Structure 1
Amino acid sequence: MLPSHGRYRYHPWPERPRYAWPGGAKLAVYLGVNLEHFAFGEGLGAELAPGGPQPDVLNHAWRDYGNRVGAWRLIELLDALGLPATVLLNSAMYDHAPQLVAAHRARGDEIAGHGRTNSERQSVLDEGPERALIAESTAAILRHEGVAPRGWLSPWIAESRVTPELLAEAGYRYTLNWCADDQPIWMETGGGRLLAIPYPQEVNDIPAVVARKDGAEQFAAMIGADFAERLEQVARDGIPQVMGIALHPYIIGQPYRLRALRGALSAIAARRDEVWITTAGGVLDHVLGLPEGSVP
């Protein structure tokens, strides 16, 4: 037999239990807004153009645009449409751009853990240093927000073999690392269950724009098509779904991309009576209130 992670079993889609989200909705939609900070002259980072020798000024400045400009424009858009967000926060942002984190706090957005910085990858660390990374990021959020984060997205979605155990040990209740399903599913860890909430690797501006080189209108059309198809699916089979939309302000906050995004999000907001627009933490809370066995 092939090696397995052993954290969840296979569950055929047609056999899933039918349950509903609040208000009887069958489709939950949340926005994952990534607030990330990067080291200058070293470490990892998405690239607009192939990076040269360090310091790579072009790519560093391109990424920093998101925190200086793009994220603020995205907040204006979310405010105009009345949309909440789950903020996936590098804890280094508290030192780099505290006013930006405060603006999301003032909106009432959920703050979830996203490591210290996206200049590093936790999967290459030994267990002790990885535990320290999670602890440092968690403590910073608790100190500034007054409550500990309940959800985690690893920088670069990179896990070691013990990451789920370390997250459960640190008090996390859900992870966004596993994009294996269109529903939340329970994962087994040595420290108890951890809810895997779908976080998209398709409707996500990094793989779409940076990797596949999709244009702004193409990415917006992807969001619209994903939403429309899911609405048809849940109406047809009654199986509840979660649709995540992953956004990075240095990408989506560029004016021409933001303009295209506005159209896509406006179409979703216009259907708020039919769907549940929420946060990843909201999905967790609802799942915790469902009868045992509703979620595989």
Structure 2
Amino acid sequence: MTADPRKSDPGLYDYWPYENRPKITWPDGRKLAFWIAPNIEFYELNPPVNPQRKSWPRPHPDITPYSYRDHGNRVGHWRLMELMDAFDMRGSVSLSVAMCQHHPEIIEACTARGWEFFSHGIYNTRYIYGMDEAQERAILEDSIKTVQDATGQRIRGYLAPALTHTERTIDLLAEYDFRYSCDLFQDDQPQPLKTKSGKRLISMPYSLEVNDHYAYNVYGQSPRQYTDLLKRHFDTLLAEGEASGTVMCIPLHAYLVGRAHRIGPFRDVLDHVAAHRDDVWITTAGEIADYYLQHHYDTALADIRAKTAKGRG
């Protein structure tokens, strides 16, 4: 029985084995492009109901998880930002765009530091599931305009709110001139994505495995275990980057890593990364995307097409 690829694969990218790809060389010959993604989010206390997924597990008002997450905006983010300042590391903010109205002080502080912003939807409690095309377009247009008005930046990246999508999300990102998506977790290097318009869009490595949400809330790790995980992940990607440049992202949530008992161990991670500055490009997702699109996208796409055609031959 022959499998129908339309039912087994969404067709957003081609299979492209890790070995024997064209070599990626990052600026100044660095082996690893490293970026930090603080998720700066707003969780509504009583959001509109999405029939496919509940925002809060208990009846309204479920104030416990709401206030637990609110700690990030009130305390944790400022603690994390101060730590990143100490290592001269900028963030690429996965932004609930409504934060521009709810807590503009945070947006202003990030902007003053030269941090990048990319869209994480309007609220992390409003899911894309079931939206029609007009609704999804409205979210992208709102994201572009709101961040532009608040910061002067034109956002070029996207991570769907609560990782929720429709079948058209990737194509809409390309149509609206986004450059990268963080919604796919298939690789440790950027990869060209397939879009109906043919516009260039890449998948930016953004790992759930090293996300502090998974470390603390899913895997139940201690701060020291999480520190060890991040160091081992970094060391492997740095070693592999000798052959061809790799990417490491650390996705963070200030209400988790920014807690008083966790920030110290996380400092050890940044200290470990900083000790390898000669080999590591410490940058933002937008700068990685721009460099890759300029220097490596065309070569990668040609290699993918050649190997795909050979596999079918």
User: With structure 1 as the length reference, what TM-score do the two structures score?
Assistant: 0.93
Unaligned runs of 5+ in 2: 50-55, 305-313
Please name the residue that 2:102 is paired with: 96
**Secondary structure at 2:129 match in 1:** helix
Establish whether residue 262 from structure 1 lines up as the match of residue 267 from structure 2.
Answer: yes
**Offset of residue 51 of structure 1:** 4.4
The SS at the match of 2:110 is: helix
Picking from 171, 175, 184, the partner of 2:177 is 171
Q: Match of 1:172, SS?
A: coil
- Correspondence 1:37-186 to 2 at 5 A: 37-42=42-47, 51-186=57-192
Q: CA deviation at 1:53?
A: 2.3
| Equivalent residue number for residue 47 of structure 1 | none
Q: Which of 212, 216, 226 in structure 2 is aligned with 1:219?
A: 226
Distance 1:216 1:204 in 2: 13
Selected match of 2:203 from 185, 196, 203: 196
Secondary structure of the residue aligned to 1:144 is: helix
Equivalent position to 1:244, from 249, 267, 271? 249
Find runs of 4+ consecutive structure 1 residues off by over 4 angstroms: none
In 2, the alpha carbon distance for the partners of 1:23 and 1:94 equals 36
User: RMSD of the TM alignment (CA)?
Assistant: 1.5
Pick from 279, 287, 290: which aligns with 2:292?
287
Max Rg structure: 2
SS of the residue 1:120 aligns to? coil
Aligned partners of 1:42, 1:9: CA distance in 2, in Å? 37
**Match for 2:129: what amino acid?**
S
* Aligned residue identity for 1:210: N
> Which residue identity is paired with 1:24?
G
Deviation at 1:233, TM superposition (A): 2.3
Kindly state the Cα deviation for residue 239 of structure 1 after the two structures are TM-superposed. 2.1
Identity score, percent: 36
1:121 counterpart SS class:
coil
Flag structure 1 segments of 5+ consecutive residues without an equivalent. 45-49
The answer to whether the Cα contact below 8 Å between 1:51 and 1:59 also exists between their aligned partners in 2 is: no
- Cα distance in 2 for residues equivalent to 1:287 and 1:239: 13
Question: What is the number of residues matched between the two proteins?
Answer: 289
On the 8 A contact 1:112/1:149 being kept in 2, the answer is: yes
Task: Give the secondary-structure state (helix, strand or coil) at the position aligned to 1:88.
Answer: strand
- Displacement of 1:12 after TM fit? 1.2
SS in 2 for 1:62: helix
